[in-house]
Amino acid sequence: MIDALAKIVEADPQASFHVTKDEESGELLNLFIQTEAMRKNFVNYGRLIMFDHTYKINNNRMPVALIMVMDGNGDGQVAGVAFLANEKKENVKNTVQAFIACTGEEHIKNIKTAVIDKDMSELGALRELLPHVHIQLCDFHVANVFKSEVRKRCDKSKVDEVMQILKKLRYAKDDLEFDELYDQIKEHASPHFMDYFDTNWLKFPAAWSFRDKKASINLGNSRNNRLENFNGKMKMVSYFLCVPLHICSISCFPKISPISFSFLPGS
């Protein structure tokens, strides 16, 4: 691994690394890497970040965290990458802390919004370390969580009806429409579901409701499609690589992303 990092430094003397080890065992917990090009991506386009973890992207089975921004052409650009031993909150915090240290707090303060999946470790780490940032959840994952919870907590005869109301609620334009739809959910959903919904969702509408998302920028990124697409491409080319070889390939990320990971706004 040291040889792999040395190769990146040789090709990119301005690259930054941050290593976190377990204090007792000495085992690697987190390796964060940011090349000069990645840092420039963030400095130039860092008002919005997209943050996600993916699996099975190397033959060591280490989860990989990606931080991405969107450039002026609507293309996804990598701003940082980390290899993690696990996705516990404390280790996800290691990624965010390393990102802050490598990028510089003078630039971090310019972040307005972070788009993530509904991952509690990511959510907790970002809220703790970047309290000024508006956190928005990927709409695709919100819909999937709603579907799962409605099926578990509502009568089968009510599932489709409640799901339709929840879909309208996600896209409500104003307070009046939102309140009317919420009253409809209370009428059709079970008390069991309403307890869950009120506790976990109603208190944090800015993360999932389009009515509230309008208060912070997302540049059309209601979903994490750019990251998901990037992860898919990386799995195709790096699944059989060990971590050191995967690290060597990192310097190519900013070079390939403008070509391979382009989406229209709102996709």
Domain count along the chain: 2
Same domain, 129 and 256: yes
CA distance 134 to 87: 22
Same domain, 61 and 171: no
Same domain, 51 and 108: yes
Running along the chain, 267 residues long, what does each successive block of 10 average in pLDDT? 74 89 91 93 96 70 88 90 91 96 96 91 94 95 96 96 97 97 97 96 94 91 79 59 50 43 37
CA distance 70 to 157: 43
Decide: helix, strand or coil at residue 113: strand
Same domain, 159 and 77: no
Same domain, 7 and 113: yes
Angle (CA) 68-208-176 rounded to 5° is 145
pTM, entire model: 0.82
Same domain, 183 and 256: no
Which has the closest alpha carbon to 151: 139, 140, 163? 163
Same domain, 119 and 241: yes
Residue 245: give the domain boundaries.
Answer: 2-138+223-260
Whether residue 164 is contained in a domain is answered as yes
> Looking at residue 13, what is its pLDDT?
87
Same domain, 146 and 107: no
> Looking at residue 223, what is its pLDDT?
83
Whether residue 127 is contained in a domain is answered as yes
Residues sharing a CB contact under 8 Å with residue 35, sequence separation 6 or more, in sequence order: 8, 12, 14, 15, 250, 251, 253, 254
CA distance 247 to 241: 9
Same domain, 15 and 83: yes
Same domain, 126 and 197: no
